[in-house]
């Protein structure tokens, strides 16, 4: 982290909300479901798929978890009624994982069932390392109950991820592979960028070679090219994988992928918790905070 990035992170609590809103608006669909629907429709019109995230994580009360689950049901209804090419992504800490695991499981299973009725899919997001094992345990419970319209996320910067793949392979899991953004100790996470890229490539290859569906979530040009080479070498049909990116990021790369015949899904977050989400993401990745600051100054 350079000194400018560190300084920007330290000053975040002093930044007025309207300014945070200004630079975050590109990366968040809006405050409500109507805004998310407009964004999904726009993306679909550009040949892009979507996955919707209702903002809100690390909640303090179970009634907040219930409200989030209910909102996701509305999302599924909107996707079905609008004929949209989209699914949902859920963060388990927003559904009560750290308050009551059984309650969280019931809520997630309810969403998986609701998605199945609508021929849709639920992606369980991965959060920090304190949640990794319990998230994978909940995923296994869902699969053991016969639910196959549910997938999980594994992070390439965690040293354990290849072992997690080996343990999950009997399930032929649907996996999103990403680098990971949380700040973790070196004992459990790679710190060198090239080590993370190498592990990312190994994970994608291991999953694809086992016949698993893979979402390659990355904005790293080197990994995008690596992903293209991996599927090309194996002559894989486009139905066996997809690329994934965040809303408002690397739009030139995503368009190139679409024009080349690959499928790409865009992560669409929305909700009243946009401010907490924006500040948390900037704190978790100081380099992005510095980038946003420099971009804002350049526009001025």
The radius of gyration of the chain from alpha carbons, rounded to an integer in Å, stands at: 19
State the pLDDT at residue 57: 87
State the pLDDT at residue 53: 98
- Cβ atoms of 44 and 85 within 8 Å: the answer is yes
- Cβ atoms of 247 and 254 within 8 Å: the answer is no
Give the residue numbers annotated as catalytic, written as ranges.
125, 176
- Indicate the angle between helix axes 132-144 and 161-168, nearest 10 degrees: 10
- Cβ atoms of 156 and 182 within 8 Å: the answer is no
**102: Cβ contacts below 8 Å, ≥ 6 apart:** none
Domains of the chain: 29-270 (3.20.20.220)
State the pLDDT at residue 108: 98
State the pLDDT at residue 231: 98
**106, two tokens:** 């019931």
With 0-12 / 13-18 / 19 or more C-beta atoms within 10 angstroms meaning exposed / middle / buried, residue 52 is buried
pLDDT by 10s per residue, the chain, length 300: 566 666 666 666 767 778 777 767 788 999 999 999 999 999 999 999 999 999 998 899 999 999 999 999 999 999 999 999 999 999 999 999 999 999 999 999 999 999 999 999 999 999 999 999 999 999 999 999 999 999 999 999 999 999 999 999 999 999 999 999 888 999 999 999 999 999 999 999 999 999 999 999 999 999 999 999 999 999 999 999 999 999 988 999 999 999 999 999 999 999 988 887 777 666 655 666 565 566 655 555
Q: What is the pTM of this model?
A: 0.91
- Cβ atoms of 241 and 213 within 8 Å: the answer is yes
- Indicate the angle between helix axes 251-259 and 221-233, nearest 10 degrees: 20
**256, two tokens:** 């190139």
């Amino acid at each position: 982290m350079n000194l400018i990035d560190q300084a920007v992170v330290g000053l975040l609590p002093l930044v007025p909300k309207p300014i945070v809103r200004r630079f975050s608006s590109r990366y968040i669909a809006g405050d409500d479901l109507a805004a998310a629907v407009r964004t999904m429709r726009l993306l679909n019109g550009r040949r892009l798929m979507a996955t919707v995230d209702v903002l809100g994580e690390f909640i303090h009360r179970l009634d907040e978890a219930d409200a989030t689950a209910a909102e996701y049901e509305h999302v599924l209804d909107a996707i079905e009624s609008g004929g949209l090419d989209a699914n949902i992504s859920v963060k388990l800490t927003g559904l009560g994982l750290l308050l009551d695991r059984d309650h969280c499981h019931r809520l997630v299973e309810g969403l998986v069932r609701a998605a199945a009725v609508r021929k849709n899919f639920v992606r369980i997001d991965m959060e920090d390392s304190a949640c990794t094992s319990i998230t994978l345990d909940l995923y296994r419970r869902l699969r053991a109950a016969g639910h196959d319209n549910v997938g999980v996320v594994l992070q390439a910067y965690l040293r354990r991820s290849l072992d997690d793949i080996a343990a999950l392979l009997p399930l032929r899991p649907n996996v999103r592979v990403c680098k990971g953004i949380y700040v973790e100790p070196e004992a459990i996470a790679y710190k060198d960028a090239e080590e993370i890229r190498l592990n990312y490539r190994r994970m994608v290859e291991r999953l694809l070679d086992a016949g698993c569906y893979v979402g390659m979530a990355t904005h790293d040009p080197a990994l995008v090219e690596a992903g293209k080479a991996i599927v090309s070498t194996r002559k894989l049909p486009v139905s066996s994988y997809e690329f994934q990116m965040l809303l408002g990021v690397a739009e030139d790369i995503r368009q190139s992928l679409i024009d080349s015949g690959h499928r790409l899904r865009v992560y669409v977050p929305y909700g009243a918790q946009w401010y907490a989400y924006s500040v948390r993401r900037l704190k978790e990745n100081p380099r992005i905070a510095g980038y946003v600051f420099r971009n804002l100054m350049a526009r001025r």
